[in-house]
Amino acid sequence: MKKINVLISTFFGYGYLTKIPGTVTSAVTVFFIYIAYEILDYTDLRFSIIFFILLFFYSFYAVKDSETEFKNKDPRQIVIDEVLGQSMPLIFLLYLNQTNQISIYIEIYYILSFVFFRFFDILKPFPVSYFDKNHKNYFGIIMDDIMAGLYSMMLIYLISFKF
């Protein structure tokens, strides 16, 4: 089971990339979700939300189980948190699109969600920084990216009103 948890925590090995594994994993998440929603037309919002919630809760277990495989308390190899955080504004885009609240090309929203998420994940404004600094464990690893995802969702929402 530990091997499966490491596989999930590293997002099938993307976490082992030597350069910018978090950014690459976020970009891959955007790419996969774009393909699913926009090209394959898989737009079941309920399934997306349920899958996200299940992955969110499972990730706590997987990351906690995987932490011992790595040397530091917030291993860069663990990138499932980037998948979760990046998925949040993308699932929100699906909702906005289905409720006709998208007023510019959808691809621009995908790019913005990637840029916003990486911005908040790297700069770590409060409360992202709170979880990053005060919870040096599986909880903090996941929750700082969830907070970055929430900030990204808020900006996407504001932009949907502006244009």
Which pLDDT value is given to residue 163? Answer: 60
Q: Looking at residue 37, what DSSP letter applies?
A: I
Which pLDDT value is given to residue 67? Answer: 84
- Give domain limits for the chain: 2-162
Q: Please give the chain's pLDDT, 163 residues, in tens.
A: 889 999 999 999 999 999 999 999 999 999 999 999 999 999 999 999 999 999 999 999 999 999 888 877 778 999 999 999 999 999 999 999 999 998 889 999 999 999 999 999 999 999 998 998 898 889 999 999 999 999 999 999 999 876 6
Which pLDDT value is given to residue 44? Answer: 96
Which pLDDT value is given to residue 71? Answer: 77
Q: Looking at residue 36, what DSSP letter applies?
A: I
Which pLDDT value is given to residue 11? Answer: 96
pTM of the full structure:
0.93
Distance CA 97, CA 100 (A): 5
Which pLDDT value is given to residue 144? Answer: 95
Count of other CB atoms within 10 angstroms of residue 59: 24
Which tokens in the block code for residue 150?
Answer: 């929430």
